[in-house]
C-alpha cells in the first residue's frame, strides 16, 4: 500500500513503535526526501502504562536523526504516571491535531499514530450511525 501513495509529508507520533513503522513502510519516500515530522499531539493515549510513554527527545533524536522534532515540546515526557488521559481529553487533542493538519500546505500527508488516538480522532471527526460502532 505504501508504494501506491505519494506523500509530501510523513507525520509520526514520537513513540518509537509508530516512528519505526512509518520509516519502514515509507523507506522509499524517506530516501527520496519526503520530510518526516514527529508531532506530540498524535501520540498514544497518555497514561500510566509504560507503553504510553515516550523516550526523551534527546534519545529520540539519536535514534531517528532524520525526523524533525520541532513539534515535540519537551525533552522529557511531561505526562503523568498517575492518571490516564480521559477519552474526552484525547478527543480534544485529536481535534487540535486535525486543525493543525488542515493548516498544512501539503495535499497528501501520511500520519503514523496509534489505535487509541485514531479512536479519539474518529470520535470527534466522524458521524457514526451504526450503534455497534459507537463504543469507545
Percent of the chain with pLDDT over 90: 36
CA 35, 40, 42, 46 torsion-angle sign: positive
| pTM as predicted | 0.82
Per residue in 33-68, pLDDT (tens digit) is: 999 999 988 887 776 666 667 677 888 889 999 999
**What confidence category does residue 136 fall into, taking pLDDT thresholds of 50, 70 and 90?**
very low
Q: What angle do CA 44, 8, 114 make, to 5 degrees?
A: 10
C-alpha 86/C-alpha 31 separation (Å) is 38
Amino acid at each position: 500500500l505504501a508504494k501506491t501513495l505519494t506523500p509530501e509529508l510523513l507525520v509520526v507520533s514520537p513513540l518509537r513503535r509508530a516512528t519505526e513503522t512509518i520509516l519502514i513502510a515509507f523507506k522509499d519516500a524517506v530516501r527520496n526526501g519526503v520530510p518526516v515530522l514527529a508531532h506530540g499531539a498524535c501520540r498514544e493515549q497518555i497514561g500510566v502504562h509504560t507503553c504510553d510513554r515516550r523516550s526523551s527527545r534527546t534519545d529520540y533524536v539519536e535514534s531517528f536523526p532524520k525526523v524533525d522534532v520541532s513539534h515535540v515540546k519537551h525533552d522529557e515526557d511531561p505526562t503523568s504516571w498517575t492518571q490516564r488521559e480521559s477519552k474526552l481529553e484525547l478527543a480534544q487533542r485529536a481535534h487540535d491535531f486535525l486543525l493543525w493538519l488542515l493548516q498544512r500546505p501539503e495535499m497528501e500527508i501520511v500520519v503514523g499514530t496509534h489505535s487509541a488516538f485514531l479512536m479519539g480522532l474518529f470520535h470527534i471527526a466522524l458521524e457514526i450511525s451504526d450503534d455497534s460502532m459507537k463504543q469507545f
